[in-house]
Amino acid sequence: MQLQSSLFEQLPQAISPRSPSERIEELRAVLRRADIAYYTDAMPIMDDREYDHLYDELVQLEAANPHFITPDSPTQRVSGQPMKEFQNIAHDEPMLSLQNTYNREEVQDFDRRVGEGLEQRAREYWCDLKYDGVAMSLRYENGILVRALTRGDGTTGDDITQNVRTIATVPLRVQPVMLNGAPLLDFEVRGEVYMRNDDFLRLNEEREAAGEKLYANPRNLTAGTLKLQDAREVTKRPLQLACYFLRLLRLDSAATTAQQTLLSQADNMRLLKEMGFPMAQHSRLCIDLNDVFAFIDEWETRRETLPFQTDGAVVKVNSIAQQTELGAVGRFPRWAFAYKYEAKKARTRLNAISLQIGRTGVATPVAELAPIALAGSTISRATLHNADFIRDLDVREGDMVIIEKGGDVIPKVSGVVAEERDAASQPYTFPSECGCAFRQPLKRIEGEAAYYCEFAGCPSQIRGRLTHFCSRTVMDIEGLGDKAIDQLAEAGLLTTIADIYRLHEKRAQLLALERWGEKKADNCLAAIEESKKQSFTKVLFGLGVRFVGEETAKILAEHFGTMEKLHEARIEELSSVFGIGERTASAIANWFQSEQNRRLTQELAALGLAMHYEGQALAGIVTPIQGKTFVITGTLPTMKRDEAKELIQRYGGKVAGSVSKKTDFVLAGEEAGSKLDKAQELGVQVISEEDLKAMMAQ
C-alpha cells in the first residue's frame, strides 16, 4: 500500500504526557484524516495495524472517560467522507466495517465472544477471501438493478449506478429463483469491485507509455475508475465484482412475502450464484474453529497463486438468526471479522543499481537483484524511484535488502539489512553520466528529484518517444508496439516520429526484416495512414514534451489553437493559462525553442498530421469578461468553486481571493458571508452563477 510519507511523518507515534481530553481530540483528528485519505482519496496515510492501534487507544480512553464521548467521534459512527461528484444517498442499512485480527489468539478471543453472545450454542463459520477492492452495494427491485452505491462513510454512499452497469459481470436483471415459494426479486447484494493483477499491470504499462501517473495498486485503480464521471471511460478498464452478502428488502411488492427469510450465509451465497452473480471465490463453510484456522493457513500461502489481490480472510457466523442475535457494536458486527495476512517479504542481494533512461530523458535508478521468488513470481529488478529515495533508505550496491509485495502487485525495496553490510561499503552516489555508449552527462534540475539526460540522440529516449507516440492512448498505431519499434530503430528505419510517416517509402526494406510479411507490413502501413486522422490534441500529447500528458495537451490545444501559436508562446503566456504551472510552462517553452523540434513539427505538418485544434480556440477572442476581476463566495447552485474559477479564467477573466475597489464582480451563491457584505459596502456588482453563464454566452 502506498503511504503519503509526508503526512505519515506528522502522525503522533507516542503518547506524550497530556490530558486524556487532549489525547482523545488528537486521536480523533488523526483517525478522521486517515479515514478521508483511505476512503475518499484512496491514498492511505497509515497501514491497518497502525490505524487499529490508534483506534483501540481511542476506544479505551473513551471507555475510561465516557463524559468525553461526542457523537462525531470516529468510534461513534462508520467512518469516511463520500466523494462530492456523485449524488450522495443514504444506505438503508449501514455498511459496516470488519474488526481486524492478526493472530490465533485474537481469533480465539473473537470466537469466545461469539460463544458468550450465543450462550455457548454451537456455531459454524463461513470463510471468504478478503478481496482488496472497493465495497459496493447493489439494490435490485423486481429483479432489476436499480442502484449501485459505494460504501462512502458507511451511512451514505455515492450513486455510481451508471459506472457499475458497465461491469460486464454485474447482472442488470437477475435469473429468478424461488425462496420459500415466492420469487426472490427485491434484495440488496454487497460485494467488492476489484481489478485482476494482469489487467492492472497492462493498464499501468499503457499509462507509463503515455507518460501518465501510475496507479500504486489495483485497489487505487479500481477506486479511480469508479470515480470517473464518464461511464464510457469505465468500460475501457476491466473491473470485476465478487459478491459476499445478501439482504432482503421489505418492499410493498406483491412478490416479496412476509414468509421470505434467509437462513444462512451458505444458502445466501447459493441463491446469489443461482441468480447469476459473480461470487467471491474459494469460500467455504467451516464446522469449527480448527476448520477456520485450516482455511486461514491454506490461503496464507495459496493466495500467491490467485489472479487478484487478497489481504486476508473474512470469517462470518453462518446462521443469519445467530448473526441477528449477535448484532453490532459501533461500526463492527459482532458476527464477523477479518484475519489480515502480513505483506510478503524476502531478503536478497542488491547486485547493482542501473539506470533506465525514459523518453523524456529522466534517469530512473533500478535495483538489479539476485533473483528471488516472492509471492508467486521471481523478482530480479525493482524501481528505486530517484536519488532521494535511495538517499532516504541509504541503500547501497552490494547490500542485503528487503523486498516487499503488499497489496501493490509491484514489488518494492522496503529496507536494508544494515547489520550485514560490508564494512567497506560506501553510500550510493548518483552517476554523472548516463551509462550508454554516448556517455552523456546527467543533470539535476533545481527543485526536482530526477536527473535528466539532455542528449537528443539518446537511443533509449528515441525508442521511448516512438513507443509513446504509437501507443494505444496516443496515436494508436497497431503493429508498432515496443518490439517492432526496437527492431525498426535498430534497422535504421526509424529515428524520429516523422520517420513513421515515411515508412511506406521503405516498404522493401521493411519486408526484408525478420517476421515482416506482406500482410503485416500492409496492415501496419494502413494503421499509420489511419493515425493521420487523430486530433491535434493527440499529436501534441504524442510529441512527448515533459509534463505534457493528455489533459495538459487538451488545455494547450484549446487555448492556443495551432502548433504555430504554441511555437510563438512565451513562458509568461504559457503559465498564465489555467492548469499550466510554471514548471510545465518552462518545459513547453524549452521544447519549442529547439530548432530540431521546430523541424519535427514542420515535417509532421507536411506529412499531413493535424496542426489545428478541432474546436474554437480561446486565445485571441475578446470576451465580455476579458481582464475583469472576480471574487467568488458562497455555494453556487451547480458549479463547484474551482469550476467557476476555471471557466472565468478560460474566458480571460481573473479570480481574486478578497474584495477590494479593484474587484469588478462578486460571484455569490448560497450562504455568502463577509465578502458579500464588503461588495455591497464598496458598491461592487454582485452576480449569480446564472448571470455569469449569460455573460459567457455573449
CB of 8 to ligand IVH, least distance (A): 21
Of 130 and 645, the one with the shorter C-beta distance to ligand IVH is 130
CB of 58 to ligand IVH, least distance (A): 18
Of 218 and 669, the one with the shorter C-beta distance to ligand IVH is 218
Please give the helix or strand (H or E) that residue 125 lies within, else none.
strand 125-131
Distance CA 447, CA 585 (A): 15
CB of 313 to ligand IVH, least distance (A): 8
Amino acid, single-letter form, for residue 332: F
Q: What mask, x for binding ligand IVH by CB under 6 A, covers residues 280 to 319?
A: x---------------------------------x-----
Of 338 and 458, the one with the shorter C-beta distance to ligand IVH is 338
Residue choice 135, 350, 470, 557 for contact with ligand IVH (CB under 6 A): 135
Of 309 and 633, the one with the shorter C-beta distance to ligand IVH is 309
Question: What does 604-644 look like in DSSP terms, one character per residue?
Answer: HHHTT---B-SS---TT---TTTT-EEEEESB-SS--HHHH
CB of 244 to ligand IVH, least distance (A): 4
Check if the beta carbon of residue 338 is closer than 8 Å to that of residue 144: no
Q: Which of 308, 306, 311, 304 is nearest to 375 (CA)?
A: 304
Distance CA 190, CA 186 (A): 14
Distance CA 247, CA 265 (A): 10
Of 131 and 200, the one with the shorter C-beta distance to ligand IVH is 131
Residue 459 interacting with ligand IVH (CB under 6 A): no
Q: What mask, x for binding ligand IVH by CB under 6 A, covers residues 533 to 552?
A: --------------------
Residue choice 38, 55, 131, 469 for contact with ligand IVH (CB under 6 A): 131
Q: Which three cell numbers stand for residue 251?
A: 418492499
Q: How big is the chain, counted in residues? A: 698
Residue 98 interacting with ligand IVH (CB under 6 A): yes
What are phi and psi for residue 239, nearest 5 degrees? -105, 155
CB of 77 to ligand IVH, least distance (A): 15
Residue choice 333, 431, 479, 652 for contact with ligand IVH (CB under 6 A): 333
Question: What does 297-311 look like in DSSP terms, one character per residue?
Answer: HHHHHHGGGSSS-EE
What are phi and psi for residue 20, nearest 5 degrees? -55, -40
Residue choice 51, 187, 245, 592 for contact with ligand IVH (CB under 6 A): 245
Q: What mask, x for binding ligand IVH by CB under 6 A, covers residues 246 to 275?
A: ------------------------------
Check if the beta carbon of residue 77 is closer than 8 Å to that of residue 154: yes
Of 188 and 192, the one with the shorter C-beta distance to ligand IVH is 192
Residue choice 151, 340, 465, 468 for contact with ligand IVH (CB under 6 A): 151
* Nearest-CB residue for ligand IVH: 135
Q: Which stretch binds ligand IVH (CB under 6 A): 91-99, 483-491, 612-620, 678-686?
A: 91-99
CB of 95 to ligand IVH, least distance (A): 6
CB of 693 to ligand IVH, least distance (A): 41
Distance CA 548, CA 545 (A): 5
Residue choice 192, 404, 499, 689 for contact with ligand IVH (CB under 6 A): 192
Of 246 and 401, the one with the shorter C-beta distance to ligand IVH is 246
Of 7 and 96, the one with the shorter C-beta distance to ligand IVH is 96
Beta strands in 298-450 (DSSP E): 310-317, 328-329, 332-333, 336-340, 344-357, 362-374, 377-383, 400-405, 412-416, 442-444
Q: Which three cell numbers stand for residue 125?
A: 463459520
Residue 148 interacting with ligand IVH (CB under 6 A): no
What are phi and psi for residue 359, nearest 5 degrees? -65, -25
Q: Which three cell numbers stand for residue 536?
A: 491535434
Distance CA 580, CA 325 (A): 58
Residue 94 interacting with ligand IVH (CB under 6 A): no
Our CA dihedral for 381, 496, 442, 473, rounded to 10 degrees, sits at -50
Question: Which are the catalytic amino acids?
Answer: 130
Residue 584 interacting with ligand IVH (CB under 6 A): no
Residue 130 interacting with ligand IVH (CB under 6 A): yes
Q: Which of 42, 105, 100, 109 is nearest to 312 (CA)?
A: 100
Residue choice 125, 187, 200, 244 for contact with ligand IVH (CB under 6 A): 244
Distance CA 544, CA 515 (A): 29
Of 135 and 639, the one with the shorter C-beta distance to ligand IVH is 135
Residues 6+ apart with CB under 8 A from 391: 427, 428
Q: Which of 600, 648, 642, 607 is nearest to 624 (CA)?
A: 648
Residue choice 40, 73, 97, 460 for contact with ligand IVH (CB under 6 A): 97
Q: Which residues inside 514-533 make contact with ligand IVH, applying CB under 6 A?
A: none
Q: Which stretch binds ligand IVH (CB under 6 A): 114-122, 126-134, 221-229, 496-504?
A: 126-134
Residue choice 45, 239, 269, 336 for contact with ligand IVH (CB under 6 A): 336
CB of 242 to ligand IVH, least distance (A): 7
Distance CA 251, CA 249 (A): 6
Check if the beta carbon of residue 84 is closer than 8 Å to that of residue 41: no
Of 193 and 566, the one with the shorter C-beta distance to ligand IVH is 193
Q: Which stretch binds ligand IVH (CB under 6 A): 127-135, 286-294, 473-481, 617-625?
A: 127-135
CB of 65 to ligand IVH, least distance (A): 27
Q: Which of 337, 362, 371, 328 is nearest to 468 (CA)?
A: 362
CB of 311 to ligand IVH, least distance (A): 9
> CA–CA distance from 641 to each of 81, 271, 612 (Å)?
19, 47, 31
DSSP-assigned beta bridge partners for residue 538: none
CB of 328 to ligand IVH, least distance (A): 8
Check if the beta carbon of residue 433 is closer than 8 Å to that of residue 440: yes
Check if the beta carbon of residue 382 is closer than 8 Å to that of residue 350: no
Determine how β-strand 665-668 pairs with β-strand 629-633: parallel
Instruction: Determine the size of the site formed for ligand IVH (CB under 6 A).
Output: 16
Q: Which stretch binds ligand IVH (CB under 6 A): 128-136, 141-149, 474-482, 668-676?
A: 128-136
DSSP letter assigned to residue 172: S
Q: What mask, x for binding ligand IVH by CB under 6 A, covers residues 45 to 84?
A: ----------------------------------------
Amino acid, single-letter form, for residue 315: V
Q: Which of 503, 567, 490 is nearest to 531 (CA)?
A: 503
| List of residues contacting ligand IVH (CB under 6 A) | 96-98, 128, 130-131, 135, 151, 192, 244-245, 280, 314, 333, 336, 338
